[in-house]
Amino acid sequence: MRVVIDTNVLISAVLSSSSYPHQILTLWEQRRLELAFSKPIFAEFKRVLLYPHIQRIHGWSVERVEAYLRDLHFGSKIVAIHAPVHVVQADPTDDKFLACALAAQADALVTGDKQHLLPLGSLEGIPILTPKAFIERFEAQLKAA
């Protein structure tokens, strides 16, 4: 199963080990799912992880953030975006997650963005889910198998 996560999911996973986002990263670490990203998504991950107010919470040095992102990069599918997507008029910066999901042929886009991404429901057959809904779907598929 290939999944695209957005920045708020990654940050939540880093900041809370008891969260659904953290469970998603644990599944990735266990190689039970594949994460897919694009270069613009990685750039945003790094920028947000280094925000001073976020850094105060996770307590990581710049070197630790870079090492974490390196591990994430090497263990994931990196896709090039050849066809830009223009779906989220209110916040075009969210389009990079949709474009990545399409380019990666993802099985899901996981987000906490209730304002722009979740209301879409899906994009070209790719479900857009909350972390909780994704975990519930993942567990249901395991039980059905």
Please state, in angstroms and rounded to a whole number, the distance separating the CA atoms of residues 106 and 109: 7
Rounded to two decimals, what is the model's pTM? 0.95
Domains and CATH numbers, the chain: 2-144 (3.40.50.1010)
pLDDT in tens, 120-131: 999 999 999 999
pLDDT in tens, 56-81: 999 999 999 999 999 999 999 999 99
What end-to-end distance do the CA atoms of the chain give, in Å? 14
Query: Cα 133 to chain center, whole Å?
Result: 14
Per-residue pLDDT band for 89 (boundaries 50, 70, 90) equals confident
Average pLDDT over residues 82-110: 94
Whole-angstrom CA distances from 35 to 29, 51, 52, 104, 106 are 10, 23, 26, 9, 9
Per-residue pLDDT band for 107 (boundaries 50, 70, 90) equals very high
